[in-house]
Structure 1
Amino acid sequence: MTSGPVTDWLLDSDPALRWQVERDLLDAAPEVWEATRTRIATDGFGARLLAVQDADGQWAGGSFFPKDYDYADAEPSEAGQPWTATTWTLNTLREWGLDVSVLRERWTAELLEEHSRWDYDGSPYWSGEVDCCINAWTLANGVWLGADVNGIADWFLEHQLTDGGWNCEWVDGSRRSSFHSTLNSLKGLLAFDAATGGTSDTRAARRSGEEYLLERHLLHRLTTNQPVGRWINDFIYPMRWSYSALNACEYFRLAALHDGTLPDPRISEAIGIVRAARRPDGRWLQTGRQPGRVWFEVDVPAGQPSKWLTLYGTRLLTWWDSAR
């Protein structure tokens, strides 16, 4: 992709976004995008998140929720899941591409092992929890930081459902997989496989989870072929836990690049949804953001052109069109 109005607009952004534009859309030389990527730790969004890390390695004093957070006392503008605690912040820094050596020099993994405990049952941070999505993020963050999270990888093998996917509500008796839970679980396993080479079992589990979504073309109920939910059309950044056609296709892009495979044709309908959402000027709009406390805003309000979503959408369609 050559420079133009959209890419020039995207380049005028925080280093966390700009380096990805340089690498993935403009095919810049490594020394160019690597220099921009280095700035994440010292300039802009990344530096701001690093500045609020607690001395004990956590953020906001908690593993998944801020310390002493009370929904009843939250301001109306902060109603809903708070996004400031340790897991969410690590997710963000990892997805932005922060050089992990910055956190390793702070002994983040070791500090979390010593000080951070899960809200659910008080278990040590790197042992994981009972929620598939939380465990997926902890698995991805753990291999990134160099923590021993092999036990969490094994947990996914033990809790994969018979239909091939996962469901965070398994603990309440659910035996049918969830699109949201399966996608997030797959992301965690892909991060584990990419960082460690995985095992034959984790790779097989990932294939089964992918097949769960592919059989449904990423969009439909298997029994009725009806859309699984209106949220497949909700393009939101930050994506966090939410499932959409864009988020699911982005996973399959990354998985195909890791595995060295061509795009599976069964994602073509979901690709069509992403393509249809592109505005005539080449941009994608923010359709709405999840409510809840944040450290600071990193994207635009609903209805406005989003640089983050435009990066994701443009990169996805470029990969799809060139691969096919």
Structure 2
Amino acid sequence: MLLGRRFLAAAQAGLVLTGAAPAFAGDVPFGPDSDILGIRLSMSRDEARKLIAQNYPGAPISDFNGALRSGDFQKVVPIAFIADLTSKAVQSANQQKNAQLQADERARAAVGLGGPVIGQPGDFGADRIKVLFDPNDGTTDIIGVSRYTAYPPGHQPVTATLLAALKAKYGEPVRSEGNFPYEMNYTWMQPDAWKRTKNLFPGCFHDGGVQTLWDDAYGAGVYTERGEEEFTNDGFLQGVNFTSSGNLNYFARCGVVLQVNLRFVKQGDYVGEMRASLLNLSQAHTELKAYGAAFWKAADEARAKQLNTDAANKPKL
């Protein structure tokens, strides 16, 4: 793996590189009780909403459903909510930056240059958290928590400081890979689960490939509510289809997994964006597989009932 000219600095910062033996911090064990912003996988959906309301008064929360359809049979179920935690100050700065970009675009058009003026990474700030829950009982079990943070100018954390904070909270990651100083992925798992799954392909982590349960969790970075709704529903549909087909059976062995994706700015010295996703992949696999089996059974029964009804309408010959 090529990390570029900052390989030495990364190693000195304590990063665990792919293929290296993971070091587990005995006093900071990663496990089922780990959290993102205080939201644990053992909480109910209502407890998570209450915690967000207490810590971020007035933060808007949007609910999202998952819809499965087979012929004329359809079932819609609550599957997630997203809370926008972006501060008023950051929202105001975003508006000012957007107004400046629009003014720049008009100025370019006035002299015949044309074309859109597009903001650069780090121009805008955002902070959103997404909570995924069991579709078989949407009021109780949380199966995933994901947070997307775009750090605004002047508030981008130093890379070494953020990594130290992550390891202080979760311990050492079991896997690290990427292309520093551009982007890195860090994965935390329980030691026993890591040992029995580290040689699985494609593995218990998001690698940019077809990882449908992970893809759904990574959606909190989508900027429009409509786009987020489509992203969340598509992830849910694919998750149900893949678990029903058996393509994600290895997820049953993964347990609880945390993956943090960092995108760097300023030659890797600072972090511009962070995506952190905490999932109980084993539970998610079990619940989505059960939901899919129940849905297809109900769809088959509805189709058979309709067929029986329609069979009574004999055509005239």
Q: TM-score range by the shorter chain?
A: under 0.3
Decide which structure has greater strand share: 2
Greater CA radius of gyration, 1 or 2?
Answer: 2
Greater fraction of residues in helix: 1
TM-score w.r.t. structure 1 length? 0.26
